[in-house]
Amino acid sequence: MILVKSEALNKEITVEREIGRFGDPQKGPTIVVFAAIHGNEPSGVFALHEVFSKLKRLTVPFHGNIVALCGNHQALKNGKRYIRHDLNRIWEKENLDRIKNNGNGGVSVADEMSEQDYIYHRIEDIFKNHKPPFYFIDLHTTSSDSVPFITLNDTLRNREFAMHFPLPIILGIEEFLSGTLMSYINAVGPIAIGFEAGRHDDPASVENHISCLWLTLEAAGCLQKRDIPEYVHHYSNLSRQSLDGRKVFEIRFRYQRTETEEFEMLPGFKNFQRIKKTKLLARNFKGDILASESGRIFLPLYQNLGDDGFFIIREIKKFWLKVSARLRRYDAERLLKVLPGIEHHHCDKHCFKASKKIARWLVVDLFHLLGYRRLYSSATHHYFRRRRFDTKEPEISYQDLTQINI
Ligand SMILES: [Zn+2]
């Protein structure tokens, strides 16, 4: 048990690794919420505390169950983003192998690796002992002011679930950030989305997380709208903060900064602010950094932490969202196979490589439309893999969660 302080609320609470649970695990749906996977983001912990205390006093029917887990317990105790490793960047094959082999060859692991072991085994336990369908939610906050928004891996199932919330949705962050917990969960199969509620120490972020949690309980089918205390308040709390509610954006560009380049964002940029191509955005020791294309600025860096300087995002119009959903339900691979410059890669039938020379025509956009994630690019080719479980929930049993292709 640890003591956690919220600067925003000027309040302290004690937190176990399991923050709370409610409902009957023998009945689905099962909602699994993570808070403070970044230890300097206590907002979600306080929001869950509040929601669980209200749930316990409710006398209306509740379907299924909800479990909430603390992410980085040690870092949360110290008020730090992480101790040695970012717990939201290490859900990759080598660490799953380590878990499978029971730690580092029997040597006990320290810091985030032990946090990861704990979370892994809890997830395994939830799949064994709770009932589907499963919904995973990850609660975050940002370093600078922002309207609340949702991030997700672009599967149609994630999109559909996220559309229940009157918030802007950002697709494709996993092409830029590897090893996130929600990407791992998606690779296992369940729906998994992230809620970014606003600035770390803003009291409104806790309120936004509370609203997100009530709306999640409704969207997953645990509670009826009419049974949720102040449902209308929670819905409008989220919808009134943004003119971009329910718009879907994709990440077009990421500026990766280095420690030594003296990167400095120009002051005053707001998250989601529109920008034109060639607009001056930042400076480093070489000079001006201009927008490579028009769109919106996303997550401009105003702290001296992390290697993302800023992103540029662009709205995907409703029409293209529909086209994309249709094509994916049809058979994307048949279409790709007849296009020049595109071929299967190795023996994995979900993996394609596209020549940069021949398939010049909007090739990345085409793959995105069809539900593929860009893995990497070489000098000559882009490499893509189709996201699994795009349109259908897997029927696999969740026995060995280390054998996941991520
Ligand atoms: Zn975070």
3-class secondary-structure state, position 38: coil
For residue 314 the two structure tokens come to: 């662009």
Q: What is the pLDDT of residue 328?
A: 86
Whether residue 237 is found in the same domain as residue 172: yes
CA of 139 to the centre of ligand 1 (A): 7
**Ligand 1 centroid to 366 CA: how many Å?**
30
- Mean pLDDT of all residues in 178-195: 93
Final residue of a structural domain among 192, 211, 246: 246
Q: Does residue 161 register a pLDDT over 80? A: yes
State pLDDT tens for residues 80-133: 999 999 999 999 988 998 888 876 555 555 688 889 999 999 999 999 999 999
CATH of the domain at 170: 3.40.630.10
Same domain, 64 and 213: yes
Q: By three-state DSSP, how is residue 203 classified? A: helix
Nearest to 67 by CA among 36, 29, 32: 32
Are 299 and 380 part of one and the same domain?
no
Domain boundary, last residue among 218, 246, 274? 246
Determine, yes or no, domain membership for 400.
no
CA–chain centroid gap for 387, Å, is 15
Cβ count within 10 A of residue 255: 20
* Residue 154 in domain: yes
Which domain CATH number covers 291?
2.40.50.100
Q: 198-253: per-residue pLDDT in tens?
A: 999 999 999 999 999 999 999 999 999 999 999 999 999 999 998 888 999 999 99
- Contact between residue 75 and residue 116 where contact means Cβ atoms under 8 Å apart: no
Q: Are residues 291 and 364 in the same domain?
A: no
Domain assignment of residue 325, yes or no: no
Residue 397 lies in a domain: no
Ligand 1 center from residue 142 Cα (angstroms): 7
pLDDT at 394 over 80: no
Q: Is 142 left (phi over 0), alpha (psi -120 to 50) or beta?
A: beta
Question: Does the residue 366 lie in any domain?
Answer: yes
Same domain assignment for residues 171 and 290:
no
| Ligand 1 centroid from CA 37, angstroms | 7
140 Cα: distance to centroid of ligand 1 (angstroms): 4
15 and 126 part of one domain: yes
Range of the domain at 305: 249-316
| 326 domain-assigned | no
Q: 150 CA to middle of ligand 1, Å? A: 12
For residues 240 and 260, membership in a common domain is answered with no
CA 370 – CA 331 distance, rounded (Å): 9
- In a domain, residue 268? The reply is yes
135 and 281 fall within a common domain: no
- Identify whether residues 234 and 257 lie together within a single domain: no
194 CA distance to ligand 1 centroid (A)? 9
Say how many Å lie between the CA of residue 152 and the centre of ligand 1: 14
**CA of residue 198 to ligand 1 center, whole Å:** 10
Buried b (16+ CB within 10 A) or exposed e, 2-40: eebebebbeeebebeeebbebbeeeebbbbbbbbbbbbb
**Taking the model in full, what pTM does it have?**
0.91
Contact in structure between 215 and 235 (CB atoms under 8 Å): yes
How many angstroms is it from 196 CA to the middle of ligand 1?
Answer: 8
CA gap 337, 320 in Å, rounded:
21
Residue 321 included in any domain: no
Quote the number of domains for the chain: 3
> Measured in angstroms, how far is the CA atom of residue 41 from the centroid of ligand 1?
6
- Distance in Å, CA 38 to ligand 1 centroid: 5
